Amino acid sequence: MIDDLKALHVEHDDAVVRVRLNSPETGNAISGLLLDELLAVLGALDDHPTTRVLVLSGAGSDFCLGGDRTEFPSLLSPETGNASMRALANKARRMCDLLANTGVVTIARLHGGVVGAGLGLAVFCDLRVGADTSHYRIPELGLGVPPAWGGITARMLYETGAARIRELLLTADRFDADRAAELAILHKVVPEDQLDATVDRWIKPLLRRSPSALRSTKAMLNSYAGAHRLGEATLFDAELLTASVAAAQAARRR
């Protein structure tokens, strides 16, 4: 599908695309490079109209431990109005929009840590299965920044409900797979060695569906979700995240 990927490993057999975050040494932290490659892979789906399913997973011990904060200092520059940081935040939002709105059915295969932006990636997928040993957290408030990555707050509000997401955001507490299932973050919880079998059980009936019917159904579901939004507040996420990260970095230098 796409050659010379460095942060991802992709397998494509026409009907199914399997995308693995492939930087286990960083906990699959979401870097600018990873965002670029995800955008390229998701954008290429339009060239493969027979593709029905995309499976998103992570290499190593964790699915994804969040955004790559080691990049932040180099992206901040008062001389440019922190334009590079703002561009990265906007890139994250575009990628999450593509993941949510692609016509194929997206499946998140989750294990280990699913943290911050990694949880954002997961909740933008249509179906989510987690290992019974997996754990979850939205730590941004504890790190001194708002949860404004990629539109995650709006997505979590829609998927889990306002009262539940308020608790997760304000406490920044870690929670386990069973709690994630109670919150509708996970559709299924299984032993880790059954993750692939569970994903395959979802894929099997999807491959019998008409690609056009799948795309129409996803478009319908997305339109219903959009109808519940009073406004597209996520448009301000890049500005909010950039300002907060810049303030946090300045405070650390004092």
Query: For residue 148, with 0-12 CB atoms within 10 Å meaning exposed, 13-18 middle and 19 or more buried, which class applies?
Result: buried
Tokens for 154?
């709006």
Above 90 in pLDDT, residue 158? no
Q: What is this structure's pTM?
A: 0.87
Residue 1 pLDDT grade (very low, low, confident, very high; cuts 50, 70, 90): low
Nearest to 69 by CA among 126, 116, 124, 10: 116
Residues 6+ apart with CB under 8 A from 211: 49, 50, 51, 52, 103
Above 50 in pLDDT, residue 54? yes
Beta strands 113-115 and 105-110: pairing type?
unpaired
Parse the chain into domains and list their residue ranges. 8-194+221-253
Q: What is the distance between the alpha carbons of residues 2 and 35, in angstroms, rounded to a whole number?
A: 14
Q: What is the CA radius of gyration of the chain?
A: 18
**What CATH homologous superfamily does 8-194+221-253 map to?**
2-enoyl-CoA Hydratase; Chain A, domain 1 (3.90.226.10)
Q: What is the mean pLDDT of the chain?
A: 86
Mean of pLDDT values over 110-122: 96
* pLDDT score at 242: 57
Q: Are 54 and 104 in contact (CB under 8 A)?
A: yes
Please give the C-alpha separations between residue 233 and each of 83, 88, 90, in angstroms, as whole numbers: 20, 18, 13
Look at the chain and count its residues: 254
Which pLDDT tens digit goes with each residue over 66-98?
A: 988 787 666 666 766 677 778 888 899 999 999
Above 90 in pLDDT, residue 148? no
Mean of pLDDT values over 243-249: 53
Above 60 in pLDDT, residue 19? yes
Lowest mean pLDDT among 52-61, 163-172, 181-190, 199-208: 163-172
* pLDDT score at 231: 44
